[in-house]
Structure 1
């Protein structure tokens, strides 16, 4: 399984830290971030056939049970295509350092039907099954801000308790409420095997605080196995809104982009430390790309194709070049709020191209996406921003390294 040119370009890791299994891989944002942090993928799983084609067109290869498992970070990522409920992870027991997944967010998304645990797309039980079958050192999960809605709080607390005690398995016919009572009792126990419990951390983070040119709030869960004795907390923000406000006010931002000084465009929220680099803007992300040609591929830039028909109106406002982009959503161009529309310097508007949205999600230009425009945009809208995930996973790798060298 020889590395592709794209993989060699992405391989900016110092050395391997450990191994990983990733579920719900989608378009590959979290998988790439894990790879960059030094985790060798033993297995990926994804259901959507377009997303699977995207993964295979870049760094993945269809899983072959007769093949040797990956031996280095340069090997391609084995991908099982299909429903996770049909995947047996038991053969990997004891070999997996991290189980990770951007659990499908539709059941808890503010843009979805809000059915939570009643939604058949609720895949938290499958993530936990993978944990039980592989016994990883660390669990990493990502989901939408809507998971923290007040109406979902009882089930959210139940999710956290399941991650704390994943081997206290729910039995057939048991309601989740009754299972939760057993989990609360298990958490209080002082006689349980520490290797079957996890120290659970969660945090609502804004991708813009970690160098992503987009305001995107997401919940991350990181849980270390208790027997490892790891002390860990989420990494501090690396970028600051206050620094962007200051740079536009003092003119350095405009000078950096070769523009005449203007009134500040970004003024709120005034948060973060002035000692940190500024938030990244849409202009930072896409400013060096040529204007797309409508319905034609621009030479040298994959997926940089113009698309006609952009409009703005009340409640459907555009992205501004000198602010972070709005949250990328899983739609072609008709998503509410104008998240795919760009206001240019001359006052005209157009749709963002797929390549521009990929840059907003911090995918490299070498990353290709399968399917028509709508499918490509859906993959990006459902993805985890690479730089956000990498900031968290790099911190996880640093904390995990001593436990691997002493194992």
Structure 2
């Protein structure tokens, strides 16, 4: 590793001091969810300069005029499909809502369920699913993919498992945690679909904040109460690294069964992997981020911080940072998470000022547990958005497998 030059600034840089009164941004935003940063004119000008420098550095790199590449193109050691051996679902079927880039869909498929349909409002995410699985029935876009327009009764009797992750922004810190007051709250639509389809089981997924005391009334009135008369529901919180994904990422799952017998037979998935010294009987060690990506040993490794969706907020970004703590963790691992490149060759050519390894879209997908050949469609920010919003497929696989174990008996 060469001598480190001046540290490159990032999205969460805290070294810019206040100098003068707060001024509004020059960039208009029509998003009702935009939380503008309180910055002085001097601070805004420094950020503008950073942006100009970054654009010029990227242009130079793509034109072959930038600094000579430092790192070799990495060959990952982590292969997510190894965590998801294909199972025989014995003809059981599944329907997907809020499918996104396909994290739940892929995990459920590998667990053995036959695909019935996927619904996703983002056109690019729908194109990802079609490119990944040309034989799937995918409904996407503002018209076909909007679940509010769908009469789900047409699938009654044809679906064994309904699964989906309604948008998490109403319950996440990044989304202001407005709950039912947020127009993106789609849990009522998920509940409606369950009632109309009447599957043998359902899996609903979201950020762990939904399971916090802040939203206990919401969960009780909007999820549990409408369904508890017909379903026996259990709630679990799982950590992705416990199932081999090299990332700190917790998710909450609501698992419901139509009969008490099925519910009593179900057991929550148990960890298959461990990180650090907390070994488990019969479990395997989860890879650290550098090992997973196939990077040289620098004497330190750790799980990746939780990667953020680039679709959070009103503007496009190619950063996966979600906090100052995440920035420090990536720095300790000598990995640069801002300005993620479209592919590994471009990442190698675009040398970070501090000499750290620049991530690419395939690398970020791997961190989230997607296999190398999963074809995210769209610009870099859109691909990162689909990845960051997704359930890690191995985590989805573990939950879906636990449901299959009950339904297939």
Task: Say which SS state the counterpart of residue 386 (structure 2) adopts.
Answer: helix
Output aligned runs, 1:289-304, within 5 Å. Answer: none
Cα deviation for residue 42 of structure 1 reads: 1.0
Task: Say which SS state the counterpart of residue 45 (structure 1) adopts.
Answer: strand
Q: Residues 164 and 80 of structure 1: is their aligned pair in 2 closer, same or farther, counting only changes over 3 Å?
A: same
2:160: which partner in 1? 97
Task: Say which SS state the counterpart of residue 352 (structure 1) adopts.
Answer: strand
Cα deviation for residue 335 of structure 1 reads: 3.5
8 Å CA contact 1:142–1:221 kept in 2: the answer is yes
Query: Which residue among 329, 335, 356 is the counterpart of 2:363?
Result: 356
2:214: which partner in 1? 151
1:208: which partner in 2? 241
8 Å CA contact 1:199–1:226 kept in 2: the answer is yes
- Rounded to whole Å, the distance in 2 between the matches of 1:277 and 1:18 is 30
Q: Does 1:233 align with 2:296?
A: no
8 Å CA contact 1:240–1:274 kept in 2: the answer is no
1:79: which partner in 2? 138
8 Å CA contact 1:200–1:223 kept in 2: the answer is yes
1:336: which partner in 2? 322
Q: Which has the higher contact order (CA 8 A, sep 6+)?
A: 2
Cα deviation for residue 212 of structure 1 reads: 0.8
| More deviation, 325-334/222-231 | 222-231
Size of the alignment, in residue pairs?
A: 292
1:368: which partner in 2? 375
Structure 1 unmatched ranges of 5 or more:
1-6, 61-75, 166-186, 188-196, 246-270, 291-319, 403-407
Output aligned runs, 1:156-235, within 5 Å. Answer: 156-162=219-225, 164-165=227-228, 197-226=230-259, 228-230=261-263, 231-235=265-269
TM-score, normalization: structure 1?
Answer: 0.67
Task: Say which SS state the counterpart of residue 115 (structure 2) adopts.
Answer: strand
2:306: which partner in 1? 327
Q: Residues 59 and 334 of structure 1: is their aligned pair in 2 closer, same or farther, counting only changes over 3 Å?
A: closer
Structure 2 unmatched ranges of 5 or more:
1-80, 311-317, 337-353
TM-score, normalization: structure 2?
Answer: 0.66
Task: Say which SS state the counterpart of residue 351 (structure 1) adopts.
Answer: strand
Let me know the Cα RMSD of the aligned residues. Answer: 2.5
Cα deviation for residue 274 of structure 1 reads: 5.7
8 Å CA contact 1:163–1:223 kept in 2: the answer is no
Task: Say which SS state the counterpart of residue 271 (structure 2) adopts.
Answer: coil
8 Å CA contact 2:169–2:176 kept in 1: the answer is yes
